[in-house]
């Protein structure tokens, strides 16, 4: 355990992107926890002073057309974005790892079926599928997360399958077979732990994509109207873009920053989790 911790610490020190990502995520988490303190107003309260420009007393990022405080909305929007990112990434990662891992490890017809399913999913224009499902099943935030999850797993499955395919030929997997371990044991003990890291890195990066997708859906008016999300803010600000640019602009910047944080985290993880990476230690 200690060894793992010290490894993490070394990696953290050595990799700039990882550092940026980790600190960024910690800041985002702090914002979620401290939201009631950080936000000066209730984002759901409507006031009479509408479309106040930024820099106004009491509303330093201004208010929107409903008189909601833009700054407070941004703060509360972090939670929505992170929730969407995390849950959809978990769904996509779990599906991808299991399906891809099984296909690659078992090989034969299982692998052929898995590969074909992956290919079909990769061919479908994902965003339109999402649009379709959301318009059919309603636009609750839960639906949005599930839909993003089940449309992005093929990328992870492809990665995991490639990993499993090469791990299957490794001596330690063969020796596990020779020692009498069952297929299930081998899959969970050797294939997944040794092959999961590129998927973890990829999933982290795809969190950025999930945030964008949620924002896009909201922008098209297909987000969950009952919660505050950045995409929704951009969408609402759209009609006022000439008179009240700040509604869309600040939420847009928030989306961009969060996406960069997750992208950096994913990229950093990709470096660090690579078995060939030596944690800044010389060989």
Partner 1 sequence: MAYIEIKDATKWYPHKSGKLRDIFRKDKSFVKAVDGVNLSMDRGEILGVIGESGCGKSTLGRMLTRLEDPTKGDVLVDGVSTAELIKKDPLKFRRTVQIVFQNPFDTFTPRDTIQKILLRPLKHHKIGSSKEERLEIIKKALEAGGLVPAEDIMQRYPHELSGGQLQRISIIRAMFLNPSFIIADEPVSMLDVSVRADIINMLIDLARNHDASVVFISHDIALTRYISDHVAVMYLGKVVEYGTADEVINNPKHPYTKALISNCASIDPFEELATIAIEGEPPTPINPGPGCYFAPRCSMACEECLKKYPERYEVSPGHYACCDRIES
Q: How far is the CB of 7 from partner 1 (least distance, A)?
A: 11
Q: Are 79 and 35 in contact (CB under 8 A)?
A: yes
Per rule CB under 8 A, is residue 50 in the interface with partner 1? no
Q: Are 169 and 162 in contact (CB under 8 A)?
A: no
Q: What is the dihedral angle through the alpha carbons of 154, 160, 162, 167, rounded to the nearest 10 degrees?
A: -160
Per rule CB under 8 A, is residue 136 in the interface with partner 1? no
- The pair of structure tokens assigned to 230 is 């950045």
Residue 193, Cβ neighbours under 10 Å: how many? 10
What would the x/- binding string for partner 1 be over residues 166 to 185, using CB under 8 A? ----xxx-xxxxxxxx----
Q: How far is the CB of 254 from partner 1 (least distance, A)?
A: 38
Helices (H), strands (E): how many in the chain?
Answer: 13, 0
Judged by DSSP in three states, 63 sits in strand
Per rule CB under 8 A, is residue 242 in the interface with partner 1? no
Under rule CB under 8 A, which residues in 116-135 are in contact with partner 1? Answer: none
Q: How far is the CB of 32 from partner 1 (least distance, A)?
A: 33
What residues have CB less than 8 Å from 55, skipping those under 6 apart?
A: 62
Q: Which residue in the set 71, 105, 153, 190 belongs to the binding site for partner 1 (CB under 8 A)?
A: 190
DSSP H or E segment with residue 111? helix 108-123
Of the chain, the end-to-end C-alpha distance in Å amounts to: 22
Stretch of 42-50, 101-109, 165-173, 265-273 lying at the interface with partner 1 (CB under 8 A): 165-173
Residue 1 or 123: which CB sits closer to partner 1? 1
Under rule CB under 8 A, which residues in 52-81 are in contact with partner 1? Answer: none
Residue 46 or 172: which CB sits closer to partner 1? 172
Per rule CB under 8 A, is residue 226 in the interface with partner 1? no
Residues that bind partner 1 (CB under 8 A): 170-172, 174-181, 189-190, 193-194, 275
């Amino acid at each position: 355990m200690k060894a793992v911790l010290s490894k993490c610490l070394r990696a953290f020190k050595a990799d700039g992107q990882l550092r940026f990502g980790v600190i960024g995520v910690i800041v985002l988490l702090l914002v979620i926890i401290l939201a009631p303190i950080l936000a000066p107003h209730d984002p759901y309260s409507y006031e009479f002073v509408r479309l106040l420009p930024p820099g106004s007393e009491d509303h330093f990022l201004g208010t929107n057309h409903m008189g909601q405080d833009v700054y407070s909305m941004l703060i509360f929007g972090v939670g929505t974005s992170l929730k969407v990112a995390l849950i959809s990434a978990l769904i996509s990662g779990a599906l991808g790892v299991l399906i891809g891992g099984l296909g690659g490890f078992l090989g034969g017809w299982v692998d052929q079926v898995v590969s074909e399913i992956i290919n079909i999913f990769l061919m479908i224009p994902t965003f339109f599928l999402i649009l379709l499902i959301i318009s059919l099943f309603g636009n609750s935030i839960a639906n949005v997360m599930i839909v993003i999850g089940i449309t992005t797993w093929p990328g992870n499955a492809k990665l995991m399958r490639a990993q499993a395919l090469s791990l299957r030929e490794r001596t330690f997997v063969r020796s596990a077979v020779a020692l009498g371990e069952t297929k299930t044991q081998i899959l969970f003990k050797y294939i997944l732990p040794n092959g999961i890291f590129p998927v973890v890195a990829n999933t982290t990066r795809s969190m950025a994509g999930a945030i964008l997708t949620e924002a896009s859906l909201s922008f098209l008016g297909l987000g969950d109207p009952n919660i505050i999300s950045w995409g929704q803010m951009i969408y609402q600000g759209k009609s006022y873009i000439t008179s009240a640019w700040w509604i869309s602009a600040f939420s847009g910047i928030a989306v961009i920053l969060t996406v960069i944080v997750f992208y950096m985290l994913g990229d950093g993880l990709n470096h660090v989790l690579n078995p060939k990476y030596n944690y800044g230690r010389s060989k």
